[in-house]
Amino acid sequence: MKNLVLVLMWVLLVNQASAQCPIIPSPSFYSPGMKYRIESALVLDSTELDVNNWNYFKSCLKNLFDIDLKHTEANPLFHFGASPNLSQPPNIADEGYIIDLTLMGNSIDAGSRSGQFYAINSLLQLISHDENGWYIQGATVRDEPAFKWRGLHLDVSRHFFSVDEVKRYIDLMALYKFNTFHWHLTDDQGWRIEIKQYPKLTEVGAYRDSTMLGHYSDQPRIFDKNAYGGFYTQDEIREVVKYAQERHITVVPEIELPGHSRAALAAYPELSCTGLQQGVPGTWGIFDDIYCSKQETIDFMKNVLSEVIELFPSEYIHIGGDEAPKVRWEACPNCKKVMDENELANTHELQSYFIKQMDEFLTSKGKKLIGWDEILEGGLSPNAAVMSWRGMQGGIEAAQQKHEVVMTPTTYCYFDYYQSSHPSEPLAIGGYLPLEKVYKFNPVPNGLSADEAKYILGGQANLWAEYITSLEQLEYMTYPRALALAQSVWCHEKPSFEAFLSDYLAYQEDFLERNDVNYARSIHQPQLEISRKKNGINVHFKGMGDDYHFTVSTKEIGGYSMSGGQAMGVNDTLFFEKAPWGTDPKIIQTSVLDEAGRSSLVNRFVLHSNLGAEIEMVTQPHPKYNHNGSLNLVDGIIGTLPWKGSQWLGFDTSYVEFIVDLGEEKDISSVELGFLDQNGSWIYLPEQITVQVSKNSKWCLKKKFTTKVESTDPTLLLNTSGRYVRVRIEAMEQIPIGQEGGGNMPWTFIDEIQIR
């Protein structure tokens, strides 16, 4: 017997050394033990198990594994220890828990009902199946969250999701220990919450008579002409709030003001500056018509918020505050009167004044206001919390001013962005946010003192639904990226990305399948790693791990005869040689197939004569849109649409300048550049390009060529020679007023430069 115990201890220790952890988010401590067989029922002592938690555990066990949950006080597999009634809370953090399912113990202790709920969700991930049937992986688990706000957001205005679909979203959040559901209930394209005092908000504001199809940047834009809409009754809202509460999730409602309010203004046009009757728009974007700042609107908003407060027990109420153009306010006599009476210097201060009214009102009702980081402009209201989305700077400023902050920067947290550049990705708004990038998210940015960092409540991902038209697609955009986010908001010290990926692949894809989640398989596509090589580039197809096998085949297209396919293994590299000077580029298409014949990654390489050339960037791309640095401009991959971020370099500067080194002096007849024209995303063609050529990088004014840019692929005709080619691109001064982002500086996105 003693020997058996020793052997088991040894097995346990060996297991521990190589232990992969099935639980995500990764617990603070995990040490696996032996397997405990489960026949048709899991039998435990539930005396101390909270009744909601019991119901949740029971239904998950049944739905996921067809296992029953049974109570016994005689010889249970394990028991729930002190916690739910907290008569004697053990020494565990509020949301923490300890699972001790080992040779030595059989208890689960928690610091609260929430902690107990998180323990249950970990147990669900410890259940597995082998040739002998179901078992629960015995383990010691100690765990507690790093952050108080672990959020996912959902926009139900641009596309509507039914109560059942919202519940499903909440169910999946619960599995990964998210605790805040940010429900974006109102926006330009639809008002989705019943307000008894203002019935037209839903009678009129919840429906639009057309919806944009395709991408906002498509020319021409196309629309369907179908009525579209829906809203939640107050009873349905209560039902969702209760459902979430049972899963230890707080629902934070967002009622947008003063911008993104066209649906409300369609119902009550008298609340706008012009009083003009307009419909609920079926197009996306930012609209000039926003709530007027007059007293009548403030009273309306307070009445709306009074009903909202009654429905949502949440401590925080989100009032939006983002993307509110001030053109109507600038021209409005009512707004001018409010500014004069309150001695406000400009319309930013007017917005701040508007928000302060809401802050005072919510504070008087025992609630806290939270808003997007634009609420910093014109002065932050005394009790406001800030949700930082335009990067983390807004959050940093707010924390330094001792205001609470939730970090949700586009860079890491916008799950409406593409997660790979694979052609099969469903249409998305743009941008590029692969799983690995999400994993890098840390809600506490560098540069905050420990004292300031205390104001960071946590982080959240946002699911804006312009292009998310179904629950299936919503799950695709959310998973698996939400698991990477869960790591960032739950773990005190998260494992490396490689360790996370290995755990994810070993356990979580099965778990997601068991939960019928339409998760994205984008990470199964090999990544392309491109590097400069003498006379060309190396393209390395990087698979996910040693076990992942695929083949890459190449063929020449565009006037060349096809050559045979080429079989490759994992981690293979192709060398592409640049075309000899003076000849046309060769076009090569590569495609990747996995063993099951699935998932083909097709890439097209244009092997031009300056492929892989050295480039000195005089202006640096914006860090968000700087995939592979200057090599991006000469990697043979021509940027395509829809825009997925990784193929382009993006600049928010008034000009862009770089110098290409051809290695030796050449006769140069033309320079061709590629630009992105996506005005809906504030990306514009530049005004003009100037090219200079030099033998020795001393710039002679005579060898200067300038052209206006009128297409996405302008070509400058030169007749000169030299080694260095300096390109200067002048952006348009500002986005024309009346356009999306009017008055702001446009972005310039460039791709391949081809010199002949």
Active site residues: 187, 260, 323
Residues with Cβ within 8 Å of residue 137, at least 6 apart in sequence: 22, 32, 33, 35, 126, 127, 128
| Cβ proximity to ligand ACM, 322 vs 577, nearer residue | 322
Enter the tokens of residue 474. 């919503």
Burial per residue of 195-226, b for 16 or more beta-carbon CB atoms within 10 angstroms, e otherwise = beebeebbebbbbbebbbeebbbeeeeeeeee
CB of 397 to ligand ACM, least distance (A): 16
332 binds, among Zn ion, ligand ACM, none (CB under 5 to 8 A by kind): Zn ion
Is residue 323 a contact residue for ligand ACM (CB under 6 A)? yes
Round to whole Å and give the CA distance between 576 and 590. 11
| Cβ proximity to ligand ACM, 394 vs 636, nearer residue | 394
Distance between start and end Cα atoms, the chain: 81
CB of 322 to ligand ACM, least distance (A): 4
Contact 452, 122 (CB under 8 A): no
Is residue 273 a contact residue for Zn ion (CB under 5 A)? yes
3-state secondary structure 532-567: EECCEEEEEEECCCCCCCEEEEEEEECCCCCCCCCC
Q: Degrees (nearest 5) of the Cα angle 108, 110, 114?
A: 120
Coil/strand/helix, residue 377: coil
| Cβ proximity to ligand ACM, 65 vs 682, nearer residue | 682
Give the nearest residue (CB) to ligand ACM: 322
Binding-residue total with ligand ACM (CB under 6 A): 4
CB of 78 to ligand ACM, least distance (A): 45
| Cβ proximity to ligand ACM, 123 vs 370, nearer residue | 370
CB of 323 to ligand ACM, least distance (A): 5
Is residue 332 a contact residue for Zn ion (CB under 5 A)? yes
Alpha helices in 234-317 (DSSP H): 234-246, 262-267, 295-311
Strands 127-130 and 133-143, bridge-based pairing: antiparallel
Binding-residue total with Zn ion (CB under 5 A): 5
Is residue 97 a contact residue for ligand ACM (CB under 6 A)? no
Is residue 372 a contact residue for ligand ACM (CB under 6 A)? yes
| Cβ proximity to ligand ACM, 388 vs 609, nearer residue | 388
From 92, 292, 380, 685, residue interacting with Zn ion (rule: CB under 5 A): 292
Tokens 């040779």 appear where?
Answer: 103
Tokens 């110098």 appear where?
Answer: 659
Coil/strand/helix, residue 209: coil
Q: How many CB atoms lie within 10 A of CB 460?
A: 25
292 binds, among ligand ACM, Zn ion, none (CB under 5 to 8 A by kind): Zn ion
322 binds, among ligand ACM, Zn ion, none (CB under 5 to 8 A by kind): ligand ACM
| Cβ proximity to ligand ACM, 353 vs 389, nearer residue | 389
80 binds, among Zn ion, ligand ACM, none (CB under 5 to 8 A by kind): none
| Cβ proximity to ligand ACM, 605 vs 625, nearer residue | 625
Is residue 651 a contact residue for ligand ACM (CB under 6 A)? no
Is residue 322 a contact residue for ligand ACM (CB under 6 A)? yes
CB of 464 to ligand ACM, least distance (A): 6
Is residue 389 a contact residue for ligand ACM (CB under 6 A)? yes
H or E element: which one contains 502?
A: helix 497-503
Angle between helices 234-246 and 51-65 (to 10 degrees): 90
H or E element: which one contains 410?
A: helix 410-413
CB of 278 to ligand ACM, least distance (A): 21
Enter the tokens of residue 687. 């005004």
461 binds, among Zn ion, ligand ACM, none (CB under 5 to 8 A by kind): none
Positive or negative: CA dihedral 159, 438, 417, 368:
positive
| Cβ proximity to ligand ACM, 321 vs 621, nearer residue | 321
334 binds, among Zn ion, ligand ACM, none (CB under 5 to 8 A by kind): Zn ion
372 binds, among Zn ion, ligand ACM, none (CB under 5 to 8 A by kind): ligand ACM
Sites of contact with ligand ACM (CB under 6 A): 322-323, 372, 389
Sites of contact with Zn ion (CB under 5 A): 273, 292, 332, 334-335
